[in-house]
Structure 1
């Protein structure tokens, strides 16, 4: 199996074998004499870096697509736009941040520059920017206002910077990589802490008809030097694209994958290519990191998935879509199929021409927040009598609301049964599970059962991977005794949190 040695070498420089313990690494080699069992053992001990763990625990990130396209009513600009069109007369970054914070989002990503090349900050590299607009007399700086609002309200801040630039005359030449590095340096040095840098795979022609050979390694090194804790997403070594922009993740989602999933050509082939925000294929059903795949791998790495989707049909604001905003119920379903499938949800919420998040979007986010809060407000542990497991250790850790504590099994036990007795018969239709990924991702198969006095143990739901978080909806069952069976695991399984809930 071939893999991108340049990317891998750069990866190893950028991640000097980060560990949570002496036995766990972010990356491991697989050698020809490794047995299947030793490969499984290695895979079970691969863990996230501190930055990747912080990112995973965000769960919800907002994407702000805002720029010259907002004013031309387009999804995809050509770089020939008149900058004077950009004039968000009621621009209010705090309204953006307070809106998403109230809905439970913990980080934002702003499209500092999209493919049209229009910059939302007064860059020194181009006149195709806010400095050439009438907004605030040419003295406006969207990036600064959004970053400062994030800092004020304790929300993470990230930037999307399009490698493809349809306005830059040097695009398609070696000089463009210097041009791009200058833009990236401005963003990384002028706006405080940057928590995420987001690159997509679009690589079309510039104004001169040429395509660009991107110097990704140079960009990665720059980011590591200037913002070392930032994660680099999609066309980067920290976070991968889940493979579809529907908000639907994989039913089986491994964060530990062969390193060839980091190869730039593989990422680009699955990314935007010639159509803006239009994947070539739906990769939802393609399992990454299965036993069959890791047995053939030359190395394994922690490379978690991000699931992106827009709250509207488009990614930039269009007045005609004000009645097509996803409802709170739809967003709740997406939460289950993204965060609840071991991913982070990147939800696009495009501000309008006035520079505000529209009322329809605000209302939908409020409904989503209320639904989520209602579902998880009744703590399962308040109903418990006891928890038992014949080969388990630290059973109470599963219901203590402390992610860093966890249940596990006796050494060598890769299967277990955990019985939960509750105070009185209750009805449930949602299961929550979390592994302690600081130890590794291990669970391969599980099932939840309810005890029926007449029929015995009945399966309520079942699944494969868990990872940071797994949420499963199932037909409502009622009982006072439930059991979780871990049927298969790579080394001893861990469970940080277990919960049963009822959704109306």
Structure 2
């Protein structure tokens, strides 16, 4: 600043200017509206799997109801952890050589354990009257641990459930996620549950996935978004998540031999996700098996393992859980970054235009007709009749529909060479022609508009099948 200019300014005014400059220099970057630099997705994925091992913390209204899915009308006054100490959780995570934590900010019954302005059903209206999320993020950061958050789309208290979703529900979800991603500093990942799962039955159309995904990235560009419904989709494809997810307790298993995707797998240390009255007296999982049969093999398969530890009704970990975590830390050391992972490309986040759209095909095999090729079920398939020598499959779209990605998936990869075409008012045009032997065949291209998509199967090893076709106007 020019010195002569400063000399001409009255002292009181000069004092205000200098204090303002000092204040701006002391403000964090975000407060000065400096946009966060967006890192490549591949780098964020690599950093995530490099973390190797973290702590899931299921702590919410179910803790006080002895049920993972309590009465949706359970009183806020039931939430009363009289000795809550998030520092104990963080120190316990550190004792196990974990690198991060993830807390259930809101589970399926809709109780929010942060100071939300979206609903009165929250921790500030409980006897605790303290923002648990705030205390958790501080405690974990003080221990040098990364911070992640869990959030449930399914919300039985607020009637955000199948066949009942209204625009106000979408608005609530957006406002709650905005609070979580603006009030608590950098969040490494937002893990979402209760979305497009068989037991929740809330689709990515009911609560539009692309809208929520874009919101998360606008608030924190480097926050990974994970949806826990990974089991529905092929292991090779990145559908509706930045990281493949596996809930091992529900029978979802990652292949340690063949996995090439950045992944997350989870298990509870105790008998279930939320604390139960018999936890202090019951043994926890065997530490040796957790290390040798779960943690180490998963890390070798580009998979980060998150172990759930449930605080009790005082807001503390039981002694048997603390002992197990210390034993893990004594027997397992975090060796840092894992092997480099392969590029995945951007995830599919938009609506599948082919889902249950009118389909047609060459002659099918018995009942395995064309409708099974786009029924949103990867377990069913269209199967070509053995008499057909040049099989084809076609999907009709609304006139002028825009799209830029087509995905073909075969449970058994028989298709070798194929041609993709789309139809517009001027006729058929080729999008791709070539060979692809993978089960998961993703085709990205500059956006086009058309009313039909057709696959001409030119060569194959055995009778061609299509388990699912996806047509998307996906951000590239």
TM bucket by the smaller chain? 0.5 to 0.7
Name the SS for the 1:319 alignment partner.
Answer: coil
CA contact (8 A) 2:192 2:226 kept: yes
Kindly indicate whether residue 123 of structure 2 is the aligned counterpart of residue 130 of structure 1: yes
Kindly indicate whether residue 62 of structure 2 is the aligned counterpart of residue 89 of structure 1: no
1:330 corresponds in structure 2 to 289
Kindly indicate whether residue 276 of structure 2 is the aligned counterpart of residue 318 of structure 1: yes
Q: Structure 1's 90 and 17: CA in aligned 2 closer, same or farther, altered over 3 A?
A: closer
Kindly indicate whether residue 339 of structure 2 is the aligned counterpart of residue 435 of structure 1: yes
1:168 corresponds in structure 2 to 158
Higher relative contact order (CA 8 A, sep 6+): 1
Q: How many residues are aligned here?
A: 300
Q: Tell me the alpha carbon deviations over residues 31-69 of structure 1, each in whole angstroms, 9 at most, x when there is no partner.
A: xxxxxxxxxxxxxxxxx6221111111001110000000
Q: Shift in Å at residue 303 of structure 1? A: 4.2
1:476 corresponds in structure 2 to none
Q: Shift in Å at residue 16 of structure 1? A: 9.3
Q: Shift in Å at residue 318 of structure 1? A: 1.0
Q: Structure 1's 363 and 159: CA in aligned 2 closer, same or farther, altered over 3 A?
A: same
Match of 1:220 among 213, 216, 220: 213
Larger Rg: 2
Q: Structure 1's 286 and 100: CA in aligned 2 closer, same or farther, altered over 3 A?
A: closer
Match of 2:139 among 149, 153, 161: 149
Match of 1:356 among 316, 328, 332: 316
Kindly indicate whether residue 64 of structure 2 is the aligned counterpart of residue 64 of structure 1: no
CA RMSD of aligned residues (A): 3.6
Q: Tell me the alpha carbon deviations over residues 161-185 of structure 1, each in whole angstroms, 9 at most, x when there is no partner.
A: 1000101146511221111000000
Name the SS for the 2:113 alignment partner.
Answer: coil
For residues 221-370 of structure 1, what are the structure 2 equivalents within 5 Å?
221-234=214-227, 241=230, 257=236, 259=237, 261-262=238-239, 279=250, 282-284=252-254, 303-322=261-280, 323-333=282-292, 334-370=294-330
Q: Tell me the alpha carbon deviations over residues 411-455 of structure 1, each in whole angstroms, 9 at most, x when there is no partner.
A: xxxxxxxxxxxxxxxxxxxxxxx5344899xxxxxxxxxxxxxxx
CA contact (8 A) 1:166 1:205 kept: no
Cα distance in 1 for residues equivalent to 2:256 and 2:49 = 21
For residues 456-471 of structure 1, what are the structure 2 equivalents within 5 Å?
none
Kindly indicate whether residue 180 of structure 2 is the aligned counterpart of residue 187 of structure 1: yes
Cα distance in 1 for residues equivalent to 2:249 and 2:39 = 35
Cα distance in 1 for residues equivalent to 2:213 and 2:99 = 24
Q: Tell me the alpha carbon deviations over residues 303-349 of structure 1, each in whole angstroms, 9 at most, x when there is no partner.
A: 41111000012000112133221132232122123223321001101
TM-score, with structure 2 as normaliser: 0.56
Gaps of 5+ in 1: 1-14, 19-47, 245-252, 290-301, 377-400, 404-433, 441-504
Q: Which runs of 4+ in 1 moved over 6 A?
A: 209-212, 286-289
Q: Structure 1's 52 and 284: CA in aligned 2 closer, same or farther, altered over 3 A?
A: closer
Q: Structure 1's 402 and 127: CA in aligned 2 closer, same or farther, altered over 3 A?
A: closer
Q: Tell me the alpha carbon deviations over residues 398-420 of structure 1, each in whole angstroms, 9 at most, x when there is no partner.
A: xxx896xxxxxxxxxxxxxxxxx
Q: Structure 1's 223 and 210: CA in aligned 2 closer, same or farther, altered over 3 A?
A: closer
Cα distance in 2 for residues equivalent to 1:186 and 1:229 = 17
